[in-house]
Structure formats: structure tokens, C-alpha cells
Amino acid sequence: MISPFTRRGLVHGVTLLVLLVLPFAAEAAGDPFITIIASRILIYAIAAVSLDLILGFGGMVSFGHGAFFGIGGYAVGILTHHAMEGTAIPFLPGEIPGTTAALIQFPLAVLAAGAMGLLIGALSLRTRGVYFIMITLAFAQMLYFFMISLPTYNGEDGLNIWERSALPVGDLYDDTTFYYLSLGLLLAFLALAARIVNSRFGMVIRGCRQNEPRMRTLGYPVYRYKLAAFTISAMGAGLAGALIANHNEFVGPGMMHWTRSGELMVMVILGGMGTLLGPVAGAATLLLIEEILSQFTEHWMIILGPFLVIVVLFARHGVYGWLVGKDGRDG
């Protein structure tokens, strides 16, 4: 447990407090749009934390995380699409009826992303280093082109989601409900990630980052451990994808585009990789920079691009490390 009297504890406590009261503060300030942006940040934070599990803790530089994000989104989009049309999705042994129920959509989104993560991971983890970066990128791009050329789900134009997922209680059309659902899922995912990272399993994964040959010599089946981590990470991204599909009320191949994967990586690095809360700070920083810069100029990328180069060249510890002091890593 972290003491509230350290700098780290103070940062955590204040952040949590702000997050808990944010919708009310936004309401009081007469700017409910803040709640919508904040939800977006929380959703991207889930995806960024999931990427950090393999990138920061496992040392697996996956450049294809956008693919799993997109699969989660498409799972919601496709189920809703069929529910609206009243048709069923043919699936190997039988068929799955379309539905808008969140309790079915979200787990399916997570499972679909996990299944694809298992497949892509099984192939990609045969390689290492720069090959791994390129091959994860190539597989993600393969899925991107696959969705573009698949006319059944509107190809390049994507799917409009005519109805947000139906929760057992509450209504996702209510921005405050949406916000607290996103916050709840982020906190739950963070708790899960913390348990994973500190478990024996997590130790093996972190050991692989530091010295994989040694882990192998110690007798650990390194490939299987890494594959399990890769799959869990893909599932987290799938969850975030399901949320963002609801948030945008749209899914398209753009969710899988490689720039999305790049953005997720930037969030992790910007916030501080190898920490659990770093990616959350990174997601908030990047999305807020985008939001603010785009109000001044449509060419905001011209500022973001060089900024990114400078951050990589000169700032190594990320926003989170700067907030809590040192480099933010545990231990």
C-alpha cells in the first residue's frame, strides 16, 4: 500500500479525487463537453495500459496494438449491425445472433481480440527485436486492409453504430454514466494489471525484458509466458475498442490504422513506460495536446511531430516520472 504522505501517494490521491468528481465539476462549470473528452481519455488509457503490459514490462515492442483495439470495436459494431438488421452472424459450428446487450458485446469483444492476439502473438513471438516491431505492424496492417476490402461491413466507410450497447442498469447515452463506466473499467483493469505485474507470472515477464536468455536458462518456457502476456494485452485493447466504438458511435478500419498503434505507443512512452499509471498520464497528455493544439491550427501535427522527436531524444522518464519524482518505476 502506498502511503498518502509521499509525493507518489499525493499524486495518486489527488488524481483519483479529481477523476471521481469530474462530471459534477464539469456540470457545475457549465461545460459537459469536458466529461465526454475525459471519457475518451479514460478509454485510451485502458488501451495504453494494456500495451504497457507487454511494451514496458515485457519489453515486447508491439507496433500493432491498434489491430486489437479495432477488433474490439468491430465486435461491438458487427453485433449491433446484425441486431439492427435482425440477422445472425455465421460462425463455425452455428451462428451468433446480433445483439446490443453490453454483457454479451463486451466479453465477446475481449475474447475476439484475445483470440487474434493469440494467433498474431504465436507467429510474431517467434521473432525478436526489430523483426518483432515490423511483423506486428505488418499483421495489424493486414487486418486493416482486410476490413477495408470486406464489403459485408462497408469496407472503408465503416459501420455506424445506431444504438449504443445496452447496460443491465443505466443508459450509455448518458454522458455521466458513460464516464463512470469507463472509469470503473479502467480502475478494474489497473487493479488486474497490478496483480499480474506483481505476481510470479509478472516477474517472469519482467525478467524476460531484462535478460531473456537467463530466464530461459532458469528453465522458464519463455515463449509461452510471453504469448500469454501478449494475449492478455490484446484483450485489454479489445475492451478499450468496445468502449471507443460506443463513444464514437462508429467503427471503421481507421481504428486499426498503424498511426493508431503509433499513438498508443506514444502515450505509453510519453507517460512513462514500465509503470502502471504512466500510460494513463500519457493518454491524458497526448489527447489534451491534440485537443488544445487543434483549436489553434488545423496543422497541429506540425507541432506534435517535432515535439515527439524532442521528447524521445531528450526526455526519458515521461510525464509520470516527472510527477512522482525519479523515473516512476516500482522498485
Partner 1 sequence: MTLVLFLEQTLNGLQLGIMLFLMAAGLTLVFGIMHLINLAHGSLYMVGAYVTASATMASGNFAIGVAAGVLAAGAAGILVELLALRRLYGRDHLDQVLATFGVILTFNELTKIVWGPHALFMAIPDTLSGTIEVLPGVPYPAYRLFIIGVGLMVCVGLRHLIVNTRLGMLIRAGATHREMVGALGVNIDRLFTWVFGIGAMLAGLAGAMAGPMLAIEVGMGESILILTFVVIIIGGIGSVRGALVGALLVGIVDTYGRAFLPLIMRSVLDPAAADSVGASISSVTIYLLMAMVLIWRPRGLFQAYGG
Q: How far is the CB of 66 from partner 1 (least distance, A)?
A: 13
Which residue(s) pair with 89 in the sheet?
96
Judge whether 105 and 245 are in contact, CB under 8 Å: no
CA–centroid distance for 15 within its chain = 20
Q: How far is the CB of 127 from partner 1 (least distance, A)?
A: 5
Supply φ then ψ for residue 35, to 5 degrees. Answer: -60, -40
CA–centroid distance for 208 within its chain = 22
Is the CB of 199 or the CB of 297 nearer to partner 1?
A: 297
Q: Which residues bind partner 1 (CB under 8 A)?
A: 55, 61, 63, 123, 126-131, 133-135, 137-139, 141-142, 145-146, 148-152, 258-259, 262, 265-266, 269, 299, 301-302, 304-309, 312-313
Q: How far is the CB of 136 from partner 1 (least distance, A)?
A: 10
Q: How far is the CB of 143 from partner 1 (least distance, A)?
A: 8
CA distances from 184 to 116, 181, 215, 323 (A): 25, 5, 35, 23
CA distances from 211 to 204, 205, 228 (A): 10, 10, 18
Please state, in angstroms and rounded to a whole number, the distance separating the CA atoms of residues 189 and 195. 10
Is the CB of 113 or the CB of 120 nearer to partner 1?
A: 120
Give the CA angle between residues 25, 275, 256 to the nearest 5°. Answer: 80
Judge whether 215 and 207 are in contact, CB under 8 Å: yes
Is the CB of 139 or the CB of 180 nearer to partner 1?
A: 139
Q: How far is the CB of 96 from partner 1 (least distance, A)?
A: 20
Is the CB of 195 or the CB of 216 nearer to partner 1?
A: 216
Q: What's the half-sphere exposure (Cβ side, CA atoms, 13 Å) at 77?
A: 27
Is the CB of 184 or the CB of 305 nearer to partner 1?
A: 305
Is the CB of 23 or the CB of 282 nearer to partner 1?
A: 282
Q: How far is the CB of 291 from partner 1 (least distance, A)?
A: 16
Please state, in angstroms and rounded to a whole number, the distance separating the CA atoms of residues 189 and 197. 12
Please state, in angstroms and rounded to a whole number, the distance separating the CA atoms of residues 194 and 202. 9
Q: Is 257 helix (H, G, I), strand (E, B) or coil?
A: coil
Q: How far is the CB of 124 from partner 1 (least distance, A)?
A: 8
Is the CB of 126 or the CB of 326 nearer to partner 1?
A: 126
